[in-house]
Structure 1
Amino acid sequence: MTAKAQWRQLLQDIHSDQADYRQLQLALEQQFSAALAHDAAALSWHADRIGQLVAQLQQRRLRREQLARQLLAGNVGRKPSLTALFALLPEPARLRCQQQWQALQELAADCKRLNERNGQLLLNQHECYQRVLFGESDTYAAP
């Protein structure tokens, strides 16, 4: 693959990741709603969808790392990162790429926040069900 094709793939993957992170945001919001509604079937469906999206994102992340290593191969002393890679670009292209990368990082951070919120809700619900089914674990019982 030529350097030009590698750059094209890298930028295409960033755009694809942005689209998938938006889909992930939606799936996480829907998962939250399903958890609030105690809809087990919808929770399962959304978990599968979230898993698919995460797998796609992971696959592109690995490819992005590989492309960065390849594109930076001739630049001794540069750690393979997109920041280092974008630094090689002329000003207008560098700024556009940095903006796209920043937007992707913001989407990823929001999905992380949503995932943590959903996980906390599911954990709280699980603990509540455990107390209902099995009683308080630290309830004092007189001898």
Structure 2
Amino acid sequence: MSNAAQSVKTLIQGMVDDRNRYGQLKSLLKDQRQLLIARNAQELEALNASIFTVYEQLLENSRQRYQLLTQLGIPAGAHGLRTLFTRLPAANQSQLNTLWDSLEQVAAECKTLNDSNGMVLAMQQDVLQNLFNVGEPENWLYRQV
């Protein structure tokens, strides 16, 4: 197997791994929301460590994908991947486009979940901040926003 073929194989395997990791991340982010709502700090801390581990793995795969595309002389990013797919046998193109589409979709779902969890956390902080200012009405009126 040529070096380029091995690079493409590694790149595709990384995409499959990332799709699975994003699925895992999606589940963890749903669990995180429940723990945020329940204000379960102890379990949340452990869960956040798991989320961070998945983020690190996704980041490492992204770096590897960037490096492999660069080595192949293809611009890094979604457009470069689509260009690479067009250079592969026709039988594989559809499968790879589907794989990339599903990877983009689950990543977008994770982003939405993460943003939603951030809003829950921001609302909780806002409530706590208001509670801290209850005894000092002048601070409530002139608090920094």
Normalised TM-score (structure 2) = 0.86
Correspondence for 2:35: 34
Q: Could you tell me whether the CA contact under 8 Å between 2:133 and 2:140 is conserved in 1?
A: no
User: Structure 1 stretches of 5 or more lacking a match?
Assistant: none
Q: Which position in structure 1 is the counterpart of 2:61?
A: 60
Structure 2 unaligned runs (5+)?
none
What is the CA–CA distance in structure 1 between the aligned matches of 2:133 and 2:54, rounded to whole Å? 36
* Residues matched between the structures, number: 135
1:13 aligns with 2:9: no
Aligned residue number for residue 79 of structure 1: 75
Distance 1:42 1:85 in 2: 43
- Amino acid in structure 1 at the alignment position of 2:107: A
Aligned position for 1:101: 100
Q: Secondary structure at the match of 2:75?
A: coil
2:91 and 2:53 mapped to 1: Cα distance? 35
Structure 2 Cα separation of the partners of residues 32 and 20 of structure 1: 18
Q: Percent identity, please.
A: 29
- CA deviations 1:42-101 (Å, max 9, x no partner) are 111111111110010000001001111122x2xxxx533211211211222111111101
Q: Distance in 2 between matches of 1:85 and 1:66?
A: 14
Residue aligning to 1:22: 23
Give, in whole Å, the separation in 2 of the partners of 1:41 and 1:133: 23
* 2:133 counterpart of 1:129: no
Deviations, residues 98-129 of structure 1 (Å, cap 9, x unaligned): 11011000010000000000000001001101
Q: Which moved more, 1:127-136 or 1:47-56?
A: 127-136
Q: In the alignment, residue 110 of structure 1 is paired with which amino acid?
A: E
TM-score w.r.t. the length of structure 1 is 0.88
Indicate if the aligned counterparts of 2:25 and 2:110 stay in contact, CA closer than 8 A: yes
* One-letter amino acid of the structure 2 residue matched with residue 98 of structure 1: N
Match of 1:47 in 2: 48
CA distance in 2, matches of 1:79, 1:59: 18
